[in-house]
Amino acid sequence: MINISITGKTTKRTGFTIVELLIVIVVIGILAAITIVAFNGIQHRGRDAQRKSDIANITKALELYYIDNGQFPAAGGSTAINSSWSTTADASWQNFRTAIATYMKSVPTDPSNTSGVSASGGSGYTYDYFQFQNSAYCGSTAGQGYLLIYRLAASSQQNNLIGNCTGTPVGPYAASNYRVVK
């Protein structure tokens, strides 16, 4: 409260000074910035959890496909990586969806599904699938296998490598990968 004397009269003025208002505005700005940063981290972790769940579900569908057919579904048609891959970055993912539709009601895509392929170390968020059989990717005696590549935003990259590669193994790339060799 400020008392001002004008010609012998004292008047009371109520209100906030400019300094008090600036302090409040700065505090609100800091709190807003902290909230936005925390919210972004929560979103990243949520999408990463969804990615891990999606990869686990795709893996189960691929194993069921293998049990019924004695091989993993062929990959191919990608224009984003090369024609041997299937990726959510282009229309080739539809071929993969069709192949495992019996084993999965809805084949997911990455929650962000941005351009830039994960398999080539790009900065995008995609799911990429590659199937191989007795190839240079894993040695001629390795049998068959597949590789699922995805990228995490908030977690460190993970490599789940099941089975042995006798040659130069496929992966790890800049992204996380899930490789199975039978």
Q: Which of 11-15, 66-70, 110-114 has the lowest mean pLDDT?
A: 11-15
The answer on pLDDT for 167 being more than 70 is: no
Question: 21: which 2 tokens?
Answer: 């208002």
- Residue-wise pLDDT tens digits, 112-147: 877 666 655 666 788 888 887 766 566 655 568 888
Q: Given this model, what pLDDT does residue 50 score?
A: 92
Residue 89: give the domain boundaries.
2-181
The answer on pLDDT for 169 being more than 60 is: no
The pTM (predicted TM-score) of the whole model is 0.72
For the chain, how many structural domains are there in total? 1
